[in-house]
């Protein structure tokens, strides 16, 4: 694990089908902890992650981890980052158990032998509380259970940076509590980037909030960012101030 850790985006521009998603974006994140990328559905948060991961190549600009350029290079990015996509983008109707799914990822990466792989898988299943259903077919699991398997697989890659794309979407309250529980543990020694359209669950756990809608609108500690004027840069008039609390209307 890296004693120091930085993720930097310099002058990043990306468009999709002539639609501008990012334009000369600059942001630098440092150290371990949770960094919440907050914005409405359709704001381009998933695209932003895919550019960071090298899965999409920007028109211009650079992505660097610890000063090393990884722009448009998923192989290099994969040495530093593991990614958990949205459940809605996952097809898990195949004949594989959760345990086999995680172990297959480890073997493909070539980081362990058979016996070692099983021990590593057990460790990460325990971390996310997935031991009880790890030997069931993925197709038989609930959304929350699949989410925990996906996170365990990402954690098993043992990268310093973890990207979670809308991990609470479609998850029941107990599943959300489970996700928050392991985030509290894991953020002590990883940089976690998490996208969400609802700030309530993670605002108090976050080192930094990044307000995002087709680009970074504001970034800073929650106490500075969780303000009506800044949130409206992403959500427009869908942010209301009611009884001294901010509310986002979905």
Is position 90 within any domain? yes
Is position 231 within any domain? yes
How many percent of the chain have pLDDT more than 90? 62
Is position 1 within any domain? no
Is position 175 within any domain? yes
CA separation for the pair 220, 200 (Å, rounded)? 16
CA separation for the pair 120, 157 (Å, rounded)? 10
| Closest by CA position to 12, among listed 52, 40, 41, 43 | 52
Query: Could you tell me the pLDDT band of residue 116, with boundaries at 50, 70 and 90?
Result: confident
- Look at residue 250 in the predicted model and tell me its pLDDT: 60
Burial class (CB in 10 A: 0-12, 13-18, 19+), 83: buried
Is position 120 within any domain? yes
Is position 27 within any domain? yes
CATH of the domain at 16: 3.40.50.300
Return all residues near 30 (Cβ < 8 A) that are at least 6 apart: 4, 5, 6, 7
Contact 26, 75 (CB under 8 A): no
Mean pLDDT of the chain: 90
Spell out the alpha helix ranges (H) of the chain: 45-52, 74-80, 98-109, 114-128, 143-156, 173-186, 222-225, 228-235
pLDDT tens per residue across span 187-239: 999 999 999 987 788 988 999 999 999 999 999 999 999 888 888 888 888 77
Is position 213 within any domain? yes
Task: Domain count for the chain, please give it.
Answer: 1
Mean pLDDT score, 21-49: 95
- Look at residue 243 in the predicted model and tell me its pLDDT: 43
pLDDT tens per residue across span 140-187: 998 888 888 999 999 999 999 999 999 988 888 888 888 898 899 999
Q: Domain of 38?
A: 6-248
- Measuring CA to CA, how many Å separate 228 from each of 93, 185, 232, 242, 244? 42, 30, 6, 11, 11
């Amino acid at each position: 694990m890296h004693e120091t850790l930085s993720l930097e985006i310099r002058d990043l521009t990306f468009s999709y089908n002539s639609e501008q998603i990012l334009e000369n974006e600059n942001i630098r994140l440092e150290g371990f902890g949770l960094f919440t990328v907050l914005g409405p559905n359709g704001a381009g948060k998933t695209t932003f992650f895919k550019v960071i991961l090298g899965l999409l190549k920007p028109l211009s600009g650079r992505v660097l981890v610890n000063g090393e350029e990884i722009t448009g290079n998923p192989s290099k990015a994969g040495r530093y980052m593991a990614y958990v996509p949205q459940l809605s983008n996952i097809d898990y109707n195949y004949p594989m158990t959760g345990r086999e799914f995680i172990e297959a990822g480890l073997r493909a990466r070539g980081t362990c032998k058979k016996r070692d792989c099983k021990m590593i898988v057990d460790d990460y299943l325990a971390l996310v509380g997935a031991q009880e259903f790890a030997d069931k077919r993925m197709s038989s699991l609930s959304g929350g259970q699949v989410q925990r398997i996906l996170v365990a697989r990402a954690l098993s890659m043992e990268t310093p940076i973890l990207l979670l794309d809308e991990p609470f979407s479609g998850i029941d309250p107990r599943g959300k509590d489970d996700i928050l529980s392991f985030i509290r543990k894991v953020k002590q020694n990883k940089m976690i980037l998490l996208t969400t359209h609802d700030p309530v669950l993670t605002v108090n756990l976050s080192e930094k909030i990044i307000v995002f809608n087709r680009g970074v609108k504001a970034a800073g500690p929650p106490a500075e960012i969780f303000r009506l004027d800044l949130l409206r840069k992403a959500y427009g008039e869908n942010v209301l101030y009611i009884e001294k609390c901010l509310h986002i209307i979905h």
